[in-house]
Amino acid sequence: MARLDQVHPANAAGDWFVDTRCIDCATCRQLAPGVFVRRSGQSVVGGQPADAGAVEVQRASLACPTQSIGTRIRRPWPRGLFPHELADGVFHLGFNAVDSFGANAFFAARAEGNVLVDSPRFTRQLAGPLAELGGVDHVLLTHRDDVADAERWASHFGARTWIHAADADAAPFATDVFGGEGPTTVQPGLVAFPVPGHTEGSAVFVLDERFCFTGDSLHWDADAGDLAAHEHATWYSWSAQAASLAHLAQAHRFEWVLPGHGGRGRRPAAEMHTRLVALADRMARSRP
């Protein structure tokens, strides 16, 4: 619950506020960019929403990992904000975890077995709706930073857990450890593809050649209107990441980029491919 005794002084006057426990994960700015802005290294309310009950602002409040977003006026909270379906059985889960620095997590409902990509914080508010969607058969971890409550989710649903061998020490409970440079099939239509760079064991998961769950390896930069990588949060190797993203562009096509950190984006697959090739080329030339 947001703390009225710790309201950030830079909030715009009005009902909604952010408190000073914010960790600057940018989740709220991605979900409600017209309301939340960054000031002095934290998120604040830059302008009150025209509709005090705006759904995107309510979702941002639930997603906030430190639960720093709240209202001064108490009102009934709507149900069903999360899971939020993005398209064709793929959902954004909200309830971001502090342990993953507020990383996004996703869910895909599939006849072959439902999958959870990375981990939101464990809460009955989310576990109940996921059970109604058929539960979780596979937990897919993109890299070591975003494990969070994955073990608890896997235990709760009796799910298999997948992670790359180079990051496997972060998830000793994993049942399926993959490696190599090429794709590993999780189930028909769903592959794990190694993209070392952000961490040595980073991977993306490509679903039906439409959705790419990218962890911290690739995101959509709304300001630039283009694909981007986290240059200043590349813990293993920038050059390896450039090469691995070029390899990904050769191997797969997709319309959606669904990251742990950074904005999500959707463009026609041909355009995404062109942008990914161009990004990998820029990255290869930007550092030795």
Domain 4-71 has CATH 3.30.160.20: no
Q: At what angle do helices 150-157 and 124-132 cross, to 10 degrees?
A: 40
Question: What is the average pLDDT across 61-66?
Answer: 97
Q: What is the pLDDT of residues 18-54, one digit of tens each?
A: 999 999 999 999 999 989 999 999 999 999 999 877 9
Question: What was the pLDDT predicted at 74?
Answer: 85
| Chain CA centroid to CA 111, Å | 23
Where does 84-286 sit in CATH, by number?
A: 3.60.15.10
DSSP string, the chain: ---GGGB-TTSPSSSEEEBTT-----HHHHH-TTTEEEETTEEEESS--SSTT-HHHHHHHHH-TT--EEESS--PPPS--SSEEEETTEEE-----GGGTS---EEE--TT--EEES-PPP-HHHHHHHHHTT--SEEE--SGGG-TTHHHHHHHHT-EEEEEGGGGGG-TT-SEEE-SSS-EEEETTEEEEE-TTSSTT-EEEEETTTEEEEETS-EEETTTTEEE--GGG-SS-HHHHHHHHHHHHHH---SEEEESSSB-EE--HHHHHHHHHHHHHHHHHH--
Question: What is the average pLDDT across 80-106?
Answer: 98
Dihedral of alpha carbons 110, 113, 116, 122, sign: positive
Q: How many CA atoms lie within 13 A of 6 on its CB side?
A: 13
Is the pLDDT at 253 greater than 60? The verdict is: yes
Write down the domain spans for the chain: 4-71, 84-286
Question: What was the pLDDT predicted at 192?
Answer: 98
This prediction's pTM = 0.96
Q: What is the pLDDT of residues 123-177, one digit of tens each?
A: 999 999 999 999 999 999 999 999 999 999 999 999 999 999 999 999 999 999 9
At 56, which amino acid appears? Answer: E
Is the pLDDT at 288 greater than 70? The verdict is: no
For strand 160-164 and strand 138-140, is the pairing parallel, antiparallel, or unpaired?
parallel
